[in-house]
Amino acid sequence: MRRLLREPLLHFFVLGAVLFGLYAWLHRSLPSAPNEIVVSPGQVASLQAQFQRVWQRPPTAQELQGMVDNWVREEIFYREGLAMGLDRDDPVVRRRISQKMQFIVDSAVPAAPTAKELQAWLDAHPDKYAIEPTYSLRQIYFDPARHKESLDADIATARRALDSGRAVASDSTLLPGTLDAATATEVGRVFGTEFAQALKDLPVGRWQGPVRSGFGMHLVEVRAVGAGRSATLAEVRTAVERDLVQARTQEATDAVYQRLRANYVVRMSATADSSG
């Protein structure tokens, strides 16, 4: 008897019976006929919740009955449409079902990464999270449309005046005359990428230029520079965790797709070639 109880084949049959019984129990409420529509308590609760979100109050009995009737109407038309094959070769239906399947696959949340894993990700992508250099500067703007042919000469005159310690007025503009500890990205957002790139080569403490931007020409005095550096995990933990989780989710999604893809053979009808 003991030898029989240790028999793997017996274990297999017992496990199969348990799984069959569990399946039958879980699906005991499913309709027994294709023309039966069951409005479950869960479906009613879902309709009530949808109404509550839209109208910020629970539905009346009449409103709830109307929603149930509409749901049944939609379900009937849906089933009849499937029976008629209306879902076939419909790009809208095809895309919608594909999106829902993608959502189901993507909904599996990967385990929260450990500090060691976050640090490893940061070490592998240091440039993505690097702390940018910062610039404190003053600038004087010259509008090419105003100065026209005398632009170069006017800039040179202004430069000499600044070098001798005299004040020079900027042309009218909405651009800020000063920036304090602005990152390179922030400078580029205000003055443009070309202007921000030029700051890298300017010495600190002296008027330089002209420096071109998308707005015109500038004389610039870089007053202080904060050096760029690699970030610590504490400084960029949120961004690192977000990106690592996103990468893991994409990897998991791709792995599921590849397992599903292995079940299919794709043929190009023109050549009849196949790949699996």
159 within some domain: yes
> Any idea which of 43-52, 56-65, 79-88, 133-142 has the lowest mean pLDDT?
79-88
Residues 74 and 155 grouped into a single domain: no
Q: Are 59 and 67 in contact (CB under 8 A)?
A: yes
13 within some domain: no
CATH, residue 212: 3.10.50.40
Burial class (CB in 10 A: 0-12, 13-18, 19+), 107: exposed
35 within some domain: no
Q: What is the pLDDT of residue 100?
A: 83
Q: What is the pLDDT of residue 96?
A: 85
Residues 221 and 141 grouped into a single domain: yes
pLDDT digits (tens, 9 = 90+) for 222-256: 999 998 899 999 999 999 999 999 999 888 888 88
For the chain, give the mean pLDDT.
83
59 within some domain: yes
8 within some domain: no
Work out the number of other CB atoms within 10 angstroms of the CB of residue 189.
12
Give the range of the structural domain holding residue 201, as residue numbers without chain letter.
132-226
Number of domains in the chain: 3
Assign 159 a pLDDT band (cuts: 50, 70, 90).
very high
pLDDT digits (tens, 9 = 90+) for 168-211: 999 999 999 999 999 999 999 999 999 999 999 899 999 998 99
pLDDT digits (tens, 9 = 90+) for 11-37: 434 444 433 443 444 444 444 466 788
Residues 57 and 123 grouped into a single domain: no
d(CA 241, CA 113): 7
Assign 74 a pLDDT band (cuts: 50, 70, 90).
confident
Q: Are 179 and 187 in contact (CB under 8 A)?
A: yes
